[in-house]
């Protein structure tokens, strides 16, 4: 059951991810990206990280992607026209892709040689309590640094937005 | 395991049927309430007191021609109503209506499923509901629809922040994310409800939650996405027949979800306002008996000619319901259900009351209100609650 669900949602995630690139219209790409986020959330849920799954949907699918869609709608971006591919792309595209995938597979094999197979539902420390505890004890410094980074980004956004008025 | 599946299926069917009926009749109730606010009788033609009006509406909506305009973005145009209705119906699956009950030897909860992240689940699903409206506005390829969709998504993104902050404060008091445990932590009477419970009564976050909830469901006074006199009908201008009906149903289902969440988070869910040993279990019977006697009295002195026949029938039905509430074997699960429905219904009535009373906001007022007032207030409220909970011995 778990394996079937994993396969279904993994396939959906990959198909949506390919669709993000294939679609010519920005809105369709954005919606496909939402599909990727949603199926990733289901995969988190299968692994027992229910808080992470909910946060994934709320933050990525529910907030960030809504802003993307909103901006695309606001700018009224039209569909892209497909330009003719250059000779270099036509010749080297597929071999480079194969080489890249091979390299990735090789590194994964080297770094995790005897990876034990994942037990679905075997991991039970994905609740809000455990994650909160980990964030405020083990990972306190990265957490605070991230918050300062986000604050800087917010201030930067406001400065950039105000510039025209002055 | 098999009995679990069977019980779950029965519960799904019951909850779905009740929800659909409620959705249909909520609209009748709303028309009646607004009509009485405006001193007119409201729907009165189809059935006694217009009670069959929802049925007539459903037949009308199903049999209407299902138009597919030629200039729309077809896949997204068809996806949008589907998304809206699915996401709004999905969140009802984690709402608990009552405590654990025993039916024919099987113990089960009056709830479809109890997630330990129930609150987050509702937030996530409602966040996904924005796509239905935004996509409907965009894919219709219509200026008014696009403006409606833009307004709606901007409004929902903005009001989600104070909404989440207002939800976080009572969660600090109850120390759980499961909706069932949330209610259990408020058991014992009205002074244990989060809205009144110390160390910091959540009355402010209750009000913020309600205001943001009005905006999230696109209701008056925040119904700018469908402001008729500016935008025709807003994001659903190009939709007809059942596709229009699904947006309509989604709006009402969202209203029900917001009311249920307010009940669970702040008003103690199915918990009675005072303990049963002081007679709170007789309140439902008394309320229905009073309603029945009122109906009988008005049936004896009818204001309209038809009331002479209809009102006594209603009176007898109400008296029978009152008698059922007095039966000890059903009281254990009927009384909590009554309190849950009474609280949720009270908030739903507030929705309608405000629709009949307040005018619409202007768009800049709407945005300024949430970012400059509601969000800071919710933030301060959360900070104060957090400090007081941390200092609690």
The reply to whether B326 touches chain A by the CB within 8 Å rule is: no
Report pLDDT for B319: 86
Q: How many CA atoms lie within 13 A of B240 on its CB side?
A: 8
pLDDT of residue B227: 66
**What separation in angstroms does the CA of B36 have from each of A99, A110, B50?**
73, 75, 14
- What is the rounded distance in angstroms from the CA atom of residue B34 to the CA atom of residue B110? 32
Instruction: Collect all residues of chain A within an 8 Å Cβ-Cβ radius of residue B124.
Output: 54, 57-58, 61-62
Whether chain B has a CB inside 8 Å of the CB on A28: the answer is yes
Domain boundaries, chain B: 1-59, 64-269+364-393
The residue in chain B having the minimum alpha-carbon distance to the alpha carbon of residue A65 is B131
- Please determine, for residue A149, whether its predicted confidence score (pLDDT) is greater than 90: yes
CB contact under 8 A, B124 and A127: no
Cβ A58–B115 below 8 Å, yes or no? no
The answer to whether B120 contacts chain A (CB < 8 Å) is: yes
Residue in A67, A73, A127 nearest the CB of B116: A127
B359: left (phi over 0), alpha (psi -120 to 50) or beta: beta
Work out the burial of residue A56: count CB atoms within 10 Å of its CB; fewer than 13 is exposed, 13-18 middle, 19 or more buried. Answer: buried
Report CB contact under 8 Å: A62, B117: no
> Looking at the partner chain, which of B115, B116, B134 has a beta carbon nearest the beta carbon of A73?
B134
How far apart CA B165 and CA B386 sit, in angstroms, is 12
Contact B50, B43 (CB under 8 A): yes
Copy the structure tokens of residue B130: 């924005």
Q: What confidence score (pLDDT) does residue A122 get?
A: 64
| Selected residues 102-131 of chain A with any CB under 8 Å from a CB in chain B | 127-128
- The CA distance from A31 to the nearest CA of chain B, in Å, is 9
DSSP code, position B72: S
The ipTM is 0.77
Q: What is the distance in angstroms between the Cα of A136 and the nearest Cα belonging to chain B?
A: 15
Residue B382, Cβ neighbours under 10 Å: how many?
A: 21
CA nearest neighbour of B251 among B113, B74, B118, B132: B132
Average pLDDT, chain A: 82
Average pLDDT over residues A100-110: 86
**Are A70 and A15 in the same domain?**
yes
Percent of chain A with pLDDT strictly greater than 70: 86
Residue A166: pLDDT band (50, 70, 90) is low
pLDDT of residue A113: 62
pLDDT for A150: 93
Domain with A89 in it: 2-126
Task: Report chain B residues whose CB lies below 8 A from the CB of A1.
Answer: none
| pLDDT for position B82 | 87
pLDDT of residue A148: 94
Query: Which tokens go with B12?
Result: 């799904």
**A91 and A15 in one domain?**
yes
From B302's Cα to the closest Cα of chain A, the distance in A is 54
Q: If DSSP codes are grouped into helix, strand and coil, which group holds residue A19?
A: helix
pLDDT of residue A147: 92
| Cross-chain residue pair A70–B146, CB shorter than 8 Å | no
If asked whether residues A38 and A105 sit together in one domain, one would say yes
Q: Which residues are paired to B98 by β-bridges?
A: B110
CA distance A62 to chain B (A): 5
A51 near B CB under 8 A: yes
Q: How much is the pLDDT for B127? A: 83
Q: Which of A26, A73, A125 to mutate to test the interface with B (most CBs of B within 10 A)?
A: A73
Q: Among the residues of B191-282, which ranges form H helices?
A: 203-216, 228-231, 241-266
Does A27 share its domain with A94? yes
For A44, the token pair is 């988190």
Tens digits of per-residue pLDDT, B295-316?
Answer: 888 877 777 777 777 788 888 8
Say yes or no: A95 and A142 in one domain. Answer: no
A32 to chain B: closest CA residue: B76
The reported pLDDT for the residue numbered B1 is 59
Instruction: Look at residues B252, B44, B265, B235 and name the one whose alpha carbon lies nearest to residue B155.
Output: B235
| Judgement on whether residues A32 and A101 belong to the same structural domain of the protein | yes
CA dihedral B261→B267→B271→B276, nearest 10 degrees, is -160
Q: Ranked by mean pLDDT, which of A22-26, A96-100, A149-153 comes out on top?
A: A149-153
C-alpha–C-alpha distance, residues B372 and B273, integer Å: 35
For an interface test with B, the pick among A63, A66, A129 (most B C-beta atoms closer than 10 Å) comes out as A66
Which residues on B lie below 8 Å from A128 (Cβ)? Answer: 117, 120, 177
| Residue B360 DSSP class | P
Same domain, A119 and A163: no
Give the nearest chain A residue to B119 (CA atoms).
A54
Least confident of A20-24, A36-40, B124-128, B302-306: B302-306
Q: How far is CA B205 from CA A126, B251, B375, in A?
A: 28, 23, 11
Nearest-CB residue to B124 (from A28, A57, A73): A57
What span, in angstroms and rounded, lies between the C-alpha atoms of B275 and B375? 36
DSSP B274: S
**Residue B160 with chain A: CB contacts under 8 Å:** 62-63
The domain tally of chain A equals 2
What does B87-106 look like in DSSP terms, one character per residue?
HHHHGGGG---EEEEEETTE
Q: Are residues A104 and A29 in the same domain?
A: yes
Co-location of A117 and A141 in the same domain = no
Half-sphere exposure of A114 (CA within 13 A, CB side): 0
Of A50, A62, A127, Cβ closest to residue B127? A62
Contact A58, A128 (CB under 8 A): no
* Cis peptide leading into residue A2 (ω within 30°): no
Measured in angstroms, the CA of A21 and the nearest CA of chain B are apart by 18
Pairing outcome for strands B106-110 and B98-103: antiparallel
**CA-to-CA distance for A145 and B250, rounded, in angstroms?**
41
Q: Which of A50, A57, A67 has its CB closest to that of B128?
A: A57
Which residues, given as ranges, of chain B have pLDDT below 50? Answer: none
Whether residues A57 and A134 share a domain: the answer is no
User: What confidence score (pLDDT) does residue A2 get?
Assistant: 74
- The verdict on whether omega for the bond into residue B344 sits within 30 degrees of 0, i.e. cis, is no
Does A145 lie in the same domain as A75?
no
CA distance B186 to B317: 33
> Cβ neighbours of residue B208 under 8 Å, at least 6 residues apart?
B162, B163, B165, B166, B374, B377, B378, B381
Q: Could you tell me how many CB contacts below 8 A there are between chain A and chain B?
A: 75
Q: Which residue has the tokens 């299926």?
A: B9
The domain that contains A60 carries what CATH number? Answer: 1.20.120.1200
- Tell whether A27 lies on the interface with B, counting CB pairs under 8 A: yes
Same domain, A89 and A107: yes
What is the chain A residue with the closest CA to B75? A28
Confidence of residue A94 (pLDDT cuts 50, 70, 90): confident
Q: What are phi and psi of B102, to 5 degrees?
A: -120, 115
């Amino acid at each position: 059951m778990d394996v079937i669900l994993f396969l279904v949602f993994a396939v959906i995630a990959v198909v949506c991810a390919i669709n993000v690139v294939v679609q010519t219209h920005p809105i369709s790409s954005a919606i496909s990206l939402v599909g990727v986020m949603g199926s990733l959330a289901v995969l988190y849920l299968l692994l027992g990280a229910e808080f992470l799954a909910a946060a994934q949907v709320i933050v990525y699918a529910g907030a960030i992607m809504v802003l993307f869609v909103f901006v695309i709608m606001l700018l009224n971006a039209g569909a892209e026209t497909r330009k003719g591919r250059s000779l270099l792309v036509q010749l080297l595209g597929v071999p480079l892709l194969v080489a890249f995938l091979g390299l990735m597979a090789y590194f994964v094999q080297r770094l995790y040689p005897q990876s034990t197979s994942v037990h679905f539902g075997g991991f039970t420390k994905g609740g809000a309590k455990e994650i909160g505890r980990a964030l405020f004890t083990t990972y306190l410094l990265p957490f605070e640094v991230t918050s300062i980074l986000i604050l800087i980004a917010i201030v930067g956004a406001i400065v950039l937005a105000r510039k025209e008025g002055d | 395991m098999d009995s679990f599946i069977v019980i779950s299926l029965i519960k799904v069917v019951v909850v779905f049927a009740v929800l659909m009926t409620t959705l249909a009749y909520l609209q009748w109730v709303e028309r009646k309430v607004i009509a009485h606010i405006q001193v007119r009788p409201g729907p009165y033609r189809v059935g006694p007191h217009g009670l069959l009006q929802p049925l007539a509406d459903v037949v009308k909506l199903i049999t209407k021609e299902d138009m597919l305009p030629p200039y729309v973005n077809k896949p997204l145009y068809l996806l949008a109503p589907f998304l809206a209705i699915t996401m709004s119906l999905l969140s009802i699956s984690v709402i608990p209506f009552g405590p654990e009950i025993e039916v024919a030897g099987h113990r089960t909860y009056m709830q479809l499923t109890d997630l330990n992240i129930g609150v987050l689940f509702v937030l996530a699903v409602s966040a996904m509901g924005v796509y239905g409206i935004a996509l409907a506005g965009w894919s219709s390829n219509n200026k008014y629809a696009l403006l409606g969709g833009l307004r709606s998504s901007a409004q929902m993104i903005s009001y989600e922040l104070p909404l989440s902050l207002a939800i976080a404060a009572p969660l600090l008091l109850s120390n759980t994310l499961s909706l069932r445990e949330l209610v259990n932590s408020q058991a014992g009477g009205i002074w244990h409800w989060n809205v009144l419970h110390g160390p910091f009564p959540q009355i402010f976050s209750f009000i913020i939650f309600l205001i943001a909830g009005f905006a999230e469901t696109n209701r008056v006074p925040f119904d700018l996405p469908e402001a008729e006199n500016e935008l025709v009908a807003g994001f659903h201008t190009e939709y007809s027949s059942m596709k229009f009906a699904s947006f309509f149903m989604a709006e009402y289902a969202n209203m029900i979800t917001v009311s249920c969440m307010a009940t669970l988070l702040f008003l103690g869910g199915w918990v009675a306002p005072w303990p049963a040993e002081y007679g709170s279990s007789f309140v439902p019977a008394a309320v229905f008996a009073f309603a029945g006697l009122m109906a009988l009295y008005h049936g004896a002195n009818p204001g309209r000619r038809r009331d002479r026949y209809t009102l006594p029938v209603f009176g007898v039905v109400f008296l029978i319901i009152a008698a059922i509430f007095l039966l000890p074997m059903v009281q254990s699960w009927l009384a909590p259900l009554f309190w849950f429905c009474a609280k949720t219904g009270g908030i739903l009535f507030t929705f309608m009351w405000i629709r009949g009373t307040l005018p619409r906001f202007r768009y800049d007022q709407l945005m300024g209100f949430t970012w400059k007032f509601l969000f800071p207030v919710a933030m301060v409220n959360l900070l104060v609650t957090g400090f007081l909970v941390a200092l609690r011995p």
